[in-house]
Amino acid sequence: MDFHDSPQETAFRAEVRDFLRRELPQRGGIDPYAGFGGADFYLQFMDKLAARGWVAPAWPKEYGGAGLSVVQQFIFNQEMATARAPRPSPIAVGFAGPTLIVHGTEDQKQKYLSEILSGRVHWCQGYSEPGAGSDLASLQTRAVHDGDDYVVNGQKIWTSLGHLAKWMILLARTDPDAPKHRGISYFVLDMKSPGVTVRPLVNMAGTHEFNEVFFEDVRVPRENLIGEENRGWYLAQTTLSFERSNIGSAVGQQQIVEDLIRVAKDPSTAGMRMDGINHAVRTELVDRYVETEVATMMSYRIVTMQARGLIPSQEASAAKLFSTELNQRIYRTAMKVLGPYGQVLGRSPAHALLKGQVAYMYLRSVANTIEGGTSEIQRNIVATRGLGLPRN
């Protein structure tokens, strides 16, 4: 791995840093969780990213992206994460947009891509179902061809931001007699269509991110079919050569550990944290920091492979597995550092350090090893593709 930027990469990193210094408010003190001013600031910041093509830095320039190289994407995401900058909807930019670029018609690209590039429109992902999570190809939501439309009936679950989304990328079964990985088609569905019901799922941290979505005789125009009928599974596997190194997660984890170290050392917080940070907790903080360095090195390995034209498979699974399990360890350590005050939810500075984010993330991190492919799935990939072990 080459840890040094080329002259061109050094210049690009300086450009991104200069942009972030100008456009993001400076945060003071040990509390980085005060936010940037709410929805209005977010929209203004998206406009500034859009003007540079940085809403979708990995997309080709001809489709409104920045056309950045793999290493430039890595640098961009690293600097954005270091600045804790707001980001656009990942499903729109990372899943829907790339799939449309590869498989969509020109009319579909004209209709959807400009909205995504504005950074102002949320999309959601209609993949998982109550009986089809890790085994996604077992999905049973049906789309029946009827004239110029498809009629959709079924249910999706764990639909992140479904209550905010304008569009859904939907996988539905169009040929029930085909083998399960075939007979699935890929659609764009208008979330305001008659027959779509979104029901909130409130997680144990008390927040509403996920939803159940029900479809009852929902009509989807044939023009919203992406690619060929019954080839949706293969569209769902579409990947572009865009940055997937997970560097943003690694940077964020290191920042959290650094925040905890500052809290532990700050005399002004002594009355709001564990009385006397004992040797065992100090050791845990050191372990967590070392582990964030390991996560960073895994990200460098992945981006190095991509820059050489290789496709990380087991490497990406190993990084996802390590990162999500590390997240849980970090917040277990955080609860020990903060003691009883680590259990306070909410943003009142009189009652919670770091705006109550430790309590929230301690609860929220349970989902990290489930969403995006469970730890068991990642271990299977590492075992079979990486170590060559038999499937059974």
Cβ proximity of 117 and 67 under 8 Å: no
Given the residues 243, 284, 291, 315, select the one marked as catalytic. Answer: 243
Buried b (16+ CB within 10 A) or exposed e, 308-323: eeeebeebbbbbbbbb
- Residue 175 DSSP label: -
Nearest in space to 218 (alpha carbons), one of 166, 156, 153: 153
SS3 label, residue 272 = helix
Q: To which H or E segment does residue 144 belong? A: strand 142-146
Q: Of 175, 181, 176, which Cα lies nearest the Cα of 229?
A: 175
CB of 360 closer than 8 Å to CB of 352: no
Spatial distance between the Cα atoms of 302 and 386, rounded to a whole number of angstroms = 14
Cα 69–chain centre separation: 20
Contact by Cβ (8 Å): 345, 372: no
Q: Which amino acid is at 40?
A: D
Torsion of CA 47, 51, 57, 58, to 10 degrees: 110
Of 183, 159, 160, the residue nearest 172 (C-alpha): 183
Shortest CA distance to 125 belongs to which of 152, 164, 153?
164
Q: How far is 200 from 207, CA to CA, in rounded Å?
A: 10
- From 250, 298, 245, select the one nearest 73 (Cα to Cα): 245
Q: Give the pairing type, strands 167-173 and 123-126.
A: parallel
Any catalytic annotation for residue 371? Answer: no
Residue 104 Rama label (left phi>0; alpha psi -120 to 50; beta): beta
Asked if residue 381 lies in contact with residue 375, where contact means CB atoms within 8 angstroms, the answer is no
Q: Which residue in the block uniquely carries the two structure tokens 């002594």?
A: 270
Catalytic annotation, residues:
243
